[in-house]
Structure 1
């Protein structure tokens, strides 16, 4: 399996990064996409990707849009010259927490969407409680990519699929409380449009037994996401693993032999 989204540069991994990667290896995680949330973390993710042979993204998360530099596109272009950088993002809109003013989020997201189109690169998208506004921005460009950590409704899912995006599913699907809507919509996500991701260290799957004492998520727990999706789809976990891995390699134009652990 491939973890299609992990915040491996998080300070939560500072003390035991090597052990986290070892556990991922033991859990048959063959690659990871390291997420960049601002210019600094994008550069750090790239450095880590080079060190371990992973992939990374370069972008500014909507939470950090207020601090985006004036020369954002130029800095992201420079990062994107590295082969390890396979997507622009994490970019998008988050009207749930509003850590950055909404007009600023929209401007910074639009800039990154146009940059991805210019560079012919996929986008790694974040959207929470902002479907209508992100839809308007997407209508101005034509990009491919993934809607990461999908938590929207059926109408939003249909739009993102019709637009041509992959759908990223995290441990949210393992949460019988917050994730009930997603659990009901899993059947509408075709296997050939599905990516699985941990978003670690966040979104620890509630189905894990025993639960880690740290309460921290990590790539080795990706199997719990695949297992829950398989149960909801009435298929085998191996089918979900195989399809999501193929989708990842196809979307990011990576060789099938690209197992980096």
Structure 2
């Protein structure tokens, strides 16, 4: 199985990053997409992916939290990353009106720029949305005719929000949030309506450790090697076998990000 969302450049992996990668392989993962959230982290993600060809890939872009850091030098530098073979998506980009770490007008301007670049290059989008659903949907709709493959990663929204995303043809990334009895139980029902060809798997590690894991890991750090547990939870919710879910989501990952089927 393939983990489409790993924050492997996080400082929480600095001491054992190579071990984490090895453990992911031993857990059965066939690949991971390393998330870039600003220019510096996107460069780091691309460099890391280059060191592990055919297993690690990268995204490059600007997260809404980091939208305020964009300068005139950001876009030309990102453009160089988009030409690298290991960089497979533009992002993590989108809107976050929950924390507002960047002003909302700035978030929208930076997201719009990345939408336009993705449509122009026909390069996949790796997107984020929190408490900004209506504006997020409206901005995507404006590009609907030219939209490349696009995934809303770490989906945690309502059934109505999910249906709106599916109506736009988006892929949906599901994390260990579905394993959280405090705030994720609604996803048990939501994942049932995601078409087989739109579902993607991710950990979003080191965040969102699956709370229902038993025995419970000693560390709160989530890791890619826990993806099989998330996959089992999703498969059970969808009344699918784990094998069928893994096969289908692998095909979806290849199709969405233009990876080699091998």
TM-score category by the smaller chain?
Answer: over 0.9
Aligned-pair distance for 1:72? 3.0
Any residues of structure 2 matched to 1:165-176 within 5 Å, and which?
165-176=170-181
Q: Determine which of 236, 240, 243 is the counterpart of 2:241.
A: 236
Tell me how far apart the structure 2 counterparts of residues 42 and 117 of structure 1 sit (CA, whole Å).
20
User: Which residue is equivalent to 2:116?
Assistant: 114
Describe the SS at the equivalent of 1:206.
Answer: coil
Aligned-pair distance for 1:76? 1.6
User: Which residue is equivalent to 1:182?
Assistant: 187
User: Which residue is equivalent to 1:128?
Assistant: 130
Aligned-pair distance for 1:73? 2.6
Tell me how far apart the structure 2 counterparts of residues 193 and 111 of structure 1 sit (CA, whole Å).
25
TM-score, normalised by the number of residues in structure 2:
0.96
2:141–2:168 Cα contact (<8 Å) kept: no
Tell me how far apart the structure 1 counterparts of residues 164 and 85 of structure 2 sit (CA, whole Å).
30
1:212 corresponds to 2:223: no
User: Which residue is equivalent to 1:256?
Assistant: 261
**Structure 1 stretches of 4+ moved >3 Å:** none
**For residues 38-66 of structure 1, what are the alpha-carbon distances to aligned partners after superposition, in whole Å with 9 as ceiling and x for unaligned?**
00000000000000121100000011111
1:18 corresponds to 2:54: no
1:66–1:101 Cα contact (<8 Å) kept: yes
Tell me how far apart the structure 2 counterparts of residues 69 and 244 of structure 1 sit (CA, whole Å).
37
**For residues 225-254 of structure 1, what are the alpha-carbon distances to aligned partners after superposition, in whole Å with 9 as ceiling and x for unaligned?**
101101111111111111111100011111
Aligned-pair distance for 1:160? 1.1
User: Which residue is equivalent to 2:31?
Assistant: 31
Aligned-pair distance for 1:70? 2.2
Tell me how far apart the structure 2 counterparts of residues 78 and 5 of structure 1 sit (CA, whole Å).
22
Describe the SS at the equivalent of 1:93.
Answer: strand
User: Which residue is equivalent to 1:194?
Assistant: 199
Structure 1's unaligned 5+ residue stretches are: none
2:172–2:200 Cα contact (<8 Å) kept: yes
Tell me how far apart the structure 2 counterparts of residues 22 and 237 of structure 1 sit (CA, whole Å).
22
1:73–1:115 Cα contact (<8 Å) kept: no
